[in-house]
Chain A
Amino acid sequence: AQKVTQAQTEISVVEKEDVTLDCVYETRDTTYYLFWYKQPPSGELVFLIRRNSFDEQNEISGRYSWNFQKSTSSFNFTITASQVVDSAVYFCALKEGTYKYIFGTGTRLKVLA
């Protein structure tokens, strides 16, 4: 069965520190998609990035970067020079097939000023 594990329940960093959020997934499918979402205190999940299983190229978007490694079934997310506004719960998700999205339990990031 497919599964997404975010082992870090909560992380606290001081502003301007770099932080990496871990995500490990399990799937038997060869075609799948991985996502990261941010859930700020307002509650609405906001899409950050999508990766398909055939594209292991790492991606950078501003202060955000993602490291996808099929060999270790991991899709980690790094925030460089963290800011207080980055404080939120971050979810990793796996999509198989047409509509089935499986979310991890989330990592709460607290960035202290």
Chain B
Amino acid sequence: DTGVSQNPRHKITKRGQNVTFRCDPISEHNRLYWYRQTLGQGPEFLTYFQNEAQLEKSRLLSDRFSAERPKGSFSTLEIQRTEQGDSAMYLCASSLGQGGINTGELFFGEGSRLTVL
């Protein structure tokens, strides 16, 4: 399967614990995005990487959230000291951008659903 892969698919954790999600984008895609989706809402932008550089972070991303993309390949999203409000589906997407022009669609993974008890 050469699509975007995310794991774990489901995570249940207690409030205050740390969690980490991993995203493996489509191999030739240089752009990677994290989105958060809550029930009945569309995906909300969290952060964006071009290769290994994190170029934008949403104000939605508090200091408890950190994302990395070492070597411009897979990415991790870590949430420290989870709160019940963090419960959501965390979506990863990738796209191919060339020469500063990106007209391409996003390719999404199946998401990682977080439940904070």
Contacts and interface: CB of A to CB of B under 8 A. Distances in A.
What interface size band does chain A fall in? 20 to 34
Given A33-B103, A52-B103, A91-B43, A45 B91 contact: yes
A3 to B, nearest CB: 11
Contacts of B42: 4, 91, 93, 103-106
Interface residues on B, range: 20 to 34
A44 B111 contact: yes
A98 B56 CA distance: 11
Contact of A101 (B40, B45, B103): B45
Interface in B102-116: 102-111, 113
A98 B107 CA distance: 16
B97 A98 contact: yes
B21 interface: no
